Amino acid sequence: MAIDVAGTTVLITGASAGLGVEFAHRFAARGANLVLVARRADRLEALATELRGAHGIIVTVLPADLAAPGVGASLHQELTNRGITVDSLINNAGFGTHGAFVDEDLERVTSEIQLNIATLVELTHTFLPDLLTGRGALVNVASTASFQPTPGMAVYGASKAFVLNFTEALWAEARGSGLTVLAVCPGPTRTEFFDVVGSEDAAVGRMQTATQVVDTAFRALDRRYAPPTVVSGLPNWVSSISTRFATRRLGALISGRLLGDVRMKAETKRSSTSAA
């Protein structure tokens, strides 16, 4: 039983690269009209032109900084002004940072929290009334990092743990509404993610392609009763359930070792004295 999105409108965030582009191709192939949102307008326009030509669908491009507070309300207002109602929402936008937390740039970490958590929540809350009137889907991209603490990527892992738990709660709340709610948990994936992170130490295990991850997502969406969460790739699934058999302490230590054994370095405080 395939999810029927033909003629509906799907909003995809982070649509200029990686999983966002793959989700766009997949929904377009099923006859869905698209709203593509990301910062890089040139990439969005190129993708929109390609998809319109290949599938004869309507593609709306909305360049936006998704890490800006209030972006959900502004996007919804813009679409309302254009007479566009969103039936499905794919919260794909997000980024990660790597390194000892004490050394990270606070402004960048705050932006990471805003995009990965606050914007996702805002978009979901803003568009949910529209999603609940149709037969669409709410897909939030979490991560295998959400299943255990991630020393070296402390904020990223914590933000994805929020996304996972938040989405699973909404899955339970949405039962019987006709809305399919799904958290997708990729492991390391060949996208621009690690370029943004700045290190491939965060890549634990064999990398998948964006196509493989989105294949996994659609297999779940096409089920008669979609699960709340799906992990992409058998090794990643095994890793995710193995955390149930370890203490939180052990899980943090193992995860930290795999992510490069990042540690904080104590700095000696020096007191200065002035000569008389």
CB 76 within 8 A of CB 58: no
DSSP for residue 118: I
Residue 89 pairs in a beta bridge with 11, 138
Task: Report the distance separating Cα 141 and Cα 153, nearest Å.
Answer: 17
Q: Is 225 a catalytic residue?
A: no
Task: Report the distance separating Cα 266 and Cα 79, nearest Å.
Answer: 51
Which candidate in 127, 156, 162, 218 is catalytic?
156
Catalogue the long-range contacts made by 211-214 (C-beta closer than 8 Å, 24 or more residues apart).
211/22, 213/19, 213/22, 213/184, 213/186, 213/189, 214/19, 214/22, 214/23, 214/26
How far lies 263's CA from each of 84, 100, 138, 152, 229, in Å?
49, 6, 37, 8, 31
Phi-psi region of 205 (alpha: psi -120 to 50; beta: other; left: phi over 0): left
Residues 6+ apart with CB under 8 A from 1: 222, 223, 224
CB 220 within 8 A of CB 142: no
CB 92 within 8 A of CB 23: yes
Q: Which residues are catalytic?
A: 156
